[in-house]
Amino acid sequence: MMQAVTPMDVEPDAKRVRHEKTPAMTFPYELDTFQKDSIEALENGDSVLVSAHTSAGKTTVALYAIAKALQEKKRVIYTSPIKALSNQKFREFTEKFESVGLMTGDITIKVDSDCLVMTTEILRSMLYRGTEMLREVGCVVFDEVHYMRDKSRGVVWEETISLLPEGCQYVFLSATIPNAREFADWVESIHPGTKVHVIHTDYRPVPLHHYVYPCGADGIFLIVDEHGKFREDNFKRAMASVGAANGGSEANGGESGRSAPLVRGKQKAMRKSTEPIMEIIKLVMNRNMYPIIVFSFAKAECERNALALSKLNFNNTEEDTLVKDVFNNAMQCLAVEDRKLPAIEHLLPLLRRGVGIHHSGLLPILKEVVEILFQAGLVKVLFSTETFSMGLNMPARTVVFTSVKKFDGEKNRYLTGGEYIQMSGRAGRRGLDRVGVVIAMVDEAVEPEILKQVTGGGADVLNSSFHLTYNMVLNLLRVEDVDPEFMMRRSFAQFQRMRNRPALERKAEELSKEISSIQIEHEDMFRQYTHCQEILTNKRKLMGDILKQPIYVKRFAHAGRLLRIHRSSDGTPFGWGICRSFRAKNSGAVLSDPSAFVADVSIICRKADPSQPALLVPCHVKDYTTNTADLYTVPFDFTDIDAISRFRVSLPADPDTESGRAQVVQTLAKLYRQYGDDVPLLTCEEMGIDDPQYSKLRLQVERIEAQVKENELVRNPTASLEADYESFKKRAELEKELAVVEQELNQASQAIFSEELKKMMRVLRRLDYIDKDNIVLRKARVACEITTSDENEILLTELLFKGVLNSMETEMIVALMSCLVNVHRTPDGFSLPEEFRQPLNDLNEIVNRIATLTIESGITQENTSVEKTMPSLMEVTYLWAKGAKFADIVSKTNAYEGEIVRMMRRLEEQLRQMAGAARSPAIGCMELHDKFLEGIQLIKRDIVFASSLYL
């Protein structure tokens, strides 16, 4: 379906003047309807939002917009969300237009060009600085504008779109978004006179067939055909096949790092988890349905799966030679010693056999050579994370998902419809394939409604991720005629809030009427009962917190003791398990901290990856079958222990064997048959709890329990009384819902983030960035120079003014700065060498001071403490600045090579901006300026800053 939505005050196409002038650009293929409509809107001087599937041909619209602007002797800016995509687009546009430049922070090429490709952050900085060149811009293209929903970086798009000069033509390219017209209306509201046409198409040049592959089954099952019809019969057959074999793809999740380049784990340990992917690849290749992109949600899994195909060869002799030549030519830009890195040497044999890997942990040059080989048809099977779903047009015939679940940093969840659409859209090559094939691997039964939602639930709504940053506030305070409220009023978040007001008012009225219609006869009795239950819940929680104290638990957390587990991190109830042992996490553990101790508990869970306890899904013993669940021994913090049973059972001699696990499951099943969920618990006397607070709480609980027993609802329940109580509960829920709606209504009437702005201004005053009249002071002018620091501009400014860096050697400055651009998590047990500890302590002192002021000013936010600094690559950076070889620094960390390179490149940008800040009139310290520039020279070398193959 194709739909073109024009603004309300624009005449329909039939009545509009059609321009007969020479087209700005012609194409060697027949344009689709949505492309023709987009070009016509551009020719009429209007802006467009093109919302279409991956590989639908949105770039055609962008190319025409660029050609039109150049034809009219105007400059054009093309923005993308990531540097790698900017590099690719620069290469593509250079082949089509004469004057093309690139600005990505770490790379600057031909900045005086008529067409400039840049990241959105660069454009934002230019807008805040009022760069003169922007007066000449006639068109701005925003690629992948749906990235605006990104929680951390989405605000950059809102700032940039709000600050764009009037009179520009805008081209927004997006994956399918259901509220595209809302976005267009927002742009029109902040840029009066701008007309934004929404050109939306659901049309796929190549239709898709969606299959399910139950791990261990004999084949794949078509569940959604090319017309979008869900095949219920095939789905049922597929689910019946789940667990036919004991194999299964492991749960996906983040990993802390790599253990060895490309071979991250022993083959024997991998064999079971990679069998299903081996089978599906063989099946697809035997049917000639390649090239294949296999999407996984963990870097290590990509590499394990690729390694599993090490004995298969998909390239002929000629292709093998071509791969070798392309690869070796690409590596010629590296030093000889860098070409011998294990990460490079281990990848070539895979590529020669037609197997590729693509994820953020790879060296950038390796990712690029994989992309080039894939486009050339020399990689037949590509194992990738979801980052490959964004970028150049690189379609495959088949897309495989190793799981329909992903770990999103907080929990293991099913893919959203939008995520599935974005990745599955890579399937089907226009002009080559009649249909594209999408195969989802499942290793456990899935409800049909869930799978329907994943495969056909529709695109994700584009909601604002706007939030205030200190950089934004200070820049707006510095610019004449605007202020922070200016940006808040113009934000998409404020627009969406005001737009929702009528619907909220209707909802409030409906809820009020429904509440009024419910009449309760015994309201006072029910209120007393509900109030008592709420108090009991709170008191019992406080008692539980005392019960979990290691001083009491450790006396009973021995082999065979029954423990009830309720994971505190996400509230997941696991039920009863059998303790195997307990231990302190480290030698400094104190008995007053339950999170410092761990109990190893044998517990029944759905089949998953036992090395990732955060991803385990509980399974009640009554639902246990050998096909769907197993007994895992999982480490749980003492904070996860919900109750301790009086029972202690005998464990088999070897409880980790198959027969031993079966015996433990039988023991749990027998206890359930005898006691159900009411397993007898240890009393506080038996546990030796002598805490006076616990005794006080127990007396309070007993007194309230007595009151509850006297309540008529408990003492003399009747059908009429219970029915009335159900009505009371329903009305209470409606009242809660109404309170939420009324709160949203109240917020909709206020400027968004107004209270947060007041608190941030309070912090800025206390730190001497602004005065009582909100005039920017010396520190603020310095902070405005620092724009690429992940909202660390205040911290970096304080570092400069505190003089922490003045007497520090350059290499140590560089190492310390790495803590603020590093994204590699600090592993457990990490210890820095002595010489780095004092500089890090100096940095953390400033971090904590800012955090304290922030909290005192009423701001509650994540990472306001030393968690903001990540020192895991501090020593690595120091050694690199000292001239160490890349192979040597890689051996010092479990970080991926690509993570090190990405950190170093971000560090170079940060050092450059710090140099500018040190040189600014507000500081004027040329000695420090020179140190920062020297630091850039020390790190900017060899493979870490190897040129992009696209440049």
Q: How remote is the C-alpha of 670 from its chain's centroid?
A: 43
β-pairing verdict for 196-201 and 2-5: antiparallel
- Report the pLDDT value the prediction gives residue 500, as an integer from 0 to 100: 78
For residue 668, the model assigns a pLDDT of 87
**Which helix (H) or strand (E) element contains residue 631?**
strand 629-637
**In the predicted structure, residue 584 carries a pLDDT above the cut 50:** yes
Total length of the chain: 951
Identical topology for domains 2-201 and 208-251+261-456 = yes
Contact 52, 201 (CB under 8 A): yes
pLDDT tens digits along 126-177:
999 888 888 899 999 999 898 898 888 899 999 999 999 888 999 999 988 8
Report, as an integer, the average pLDDT of 718-737.
87
DSSP string, 372-388: HHHHTT--SEEEE-GGG
Residues 6+ apart with CB under 8 A from 587: none
pLDDT attached to residue 18: 47
- 473-502 in b/e form (b: 16+ CB < 10 A) is bbbbbbbeeeebeebbebbbbbbbbeeeee
Q: What is the mean pLDDT of residues 585-607?
A: 82
What mean pLDDT comes out for the span 617-638?
Answer: 77
pLDDT band (50, 70, 90) for residue 3: low
pTM: 0.74
Highest mean pLDDT among 77-81, 476-480, 524-528, 693-697: 77-81
What local confidence, expressed as pLDDT, does residue 615 receive? 56
Q: What pLDDT score does 150 carry?
A: 87
Q: What tokens appear for 40 in the block?
A: 């016509």
640-669: average pLDDT: 87
pLDDT at 251: 37
- Write the CATH number of the domain with boundaries 756-945: 1.10.3380.30
Output 594 or 777, whichever has higher pLDDT: 777
Residue 776: pLDDT band with limits 50, 70, 90: very high
The domain segmentation of the chain, as residue ranges, is 2-201, 208-251+261-456, 557-681, 756-945
Pair 877, 901: CB distance under 8 Å: no
> At 227, is the pLDDT very low, low, confident or very high (cuts 50, 70, 90)?
confident
How many secondary structure helices (H) and strands (E) does the chain include?
Answer: 35, 23
What does the alpha-carbon distance between residue 853 and residue 227 come to, in Å, rounded to a whole number? 58
What does the pLDDT read at residue 657? Answer: 87
**pLDDT given at position 826:** 77
DSSP code of residue 473: H
What does the alpha-carbon distance between residue 361 and residue 356 come to, in Å, rounded to a whole number?
14
CATH 3.40.50.300 fits 2-201, yes or no: yes
What string of DSSP letters covers 27-62? -SSPPPHHHHHHHHHHHTT-EEEEE--TTSSHHHHH
From first CA to last CA, the distance across the chain in angstroms is: 38
Mean pLDDT across the chain = 86
The reported pLDDT for the residue numbered 626 is 66
pLDDT of residue 611: 47
User: Do the bridges between strand 221-224 and strand 208-214 make them parallel or antiparallel, or are there none, so unpaired?
Assistant: antiparallel
- C-alpha Rg value of the chain to the nearest Å: 31
CA distance 820 to 918: 18
pLDDT band at 258 (very low <50, low <70, confident <90, very high): low
Q: Are strands 405-407 and 412-414 parallel, antiparallel or unpaired?
A: antiparallel
pLDDT score recorded for residue 549: 87
Beta-bridged to residue 606, according to DSSP, are: 629
Q: Give the lowest-confidence range in 278-292, 690-704, 854-868.
A: 854-868
Beta bridge partners of 213: 441
pLDDT at 391: 61
Q: What is the pLDDT of residues 673-726, one digit of tens each?
A: 888 777 888 888 888 888 888 889 888 988 988 888 888 888 888 888 888 888
Judge if the upstream peptide bond of residue 291 is cis by omega within 30 degrees of 0: yes
Report the pLDDT averaged over residues 333-337. 93
What does the pLDDT look like over 831-860, one tens digit per residue? 889 999 999 999 999 999 999 999 999 887
Give the pLDDT mean for 380-392.
82
The CATH class given to the 208-251+261-456 domain equals alpha beta
pLDDT 10s digits, 877-913: 999 999 999 999 999 998 999 999 999 999 999 999 9
Q: What is the DSSP letter of 851?
A: H
Pick 504 or 391 by higher pLDDT: 504
Residue found by looking up tokens 């039109």 in the block: 68
CA distance 366 to 343: 9
Q: What are phi and psi of 643, to 5 degrees?
A: -165, 155
DSSP 485-519: HHHHHHSHHHHHHHHHHHHHHHHHHHHHHHHHT--
Question: With 70 as the cut, is the pLDDT of residue 110 above it?
Answer: yes
Whether the Cβ atoms of residue 414 and residue 622 lie closer than 8 Å to each other: no
pLDDT level of residue 796 (50, 70, 90 thresholds)? very high
Is pLDDT above 50 for 458? yes
pLDDT category of residue 115 using cuts at 50, 70 and 90: very high
């739909």: which residue's tokens?
Answer: 3
Instruction: Please give the helix or strand (H or E) that residue 762 lies within, else none.
Output: helix 754-766
Question: 118 has which bridge partners?
Answer: 79, 103
- pLDDT value of residue 941: 94
Q: Please give the structure tokens belonging to residue 607.
A: 């089949």
Second CATH level (architecture) for the domain 557-681: Beta Barrel (2.40)
Query: What's residue 9's pLDDT?
Result: 52
pLDDT in tens, 523-548: 888 888 888 888 888 888 888 888 88
Instruction: Report how far residue 360's alpha carbon sits from residue 394's, in angstroms, rounded to the nearest whole number.
Output: 17
Segment 200-212 mean pLDDT: 87
pLDDT at 186: 95
The per-residue pLDDT for 409 is: 73
Task: Give CA–CA dist 455/599, Å, rounded.
Answer: 40
| Strand stretches in 762-823, DSSP E | none
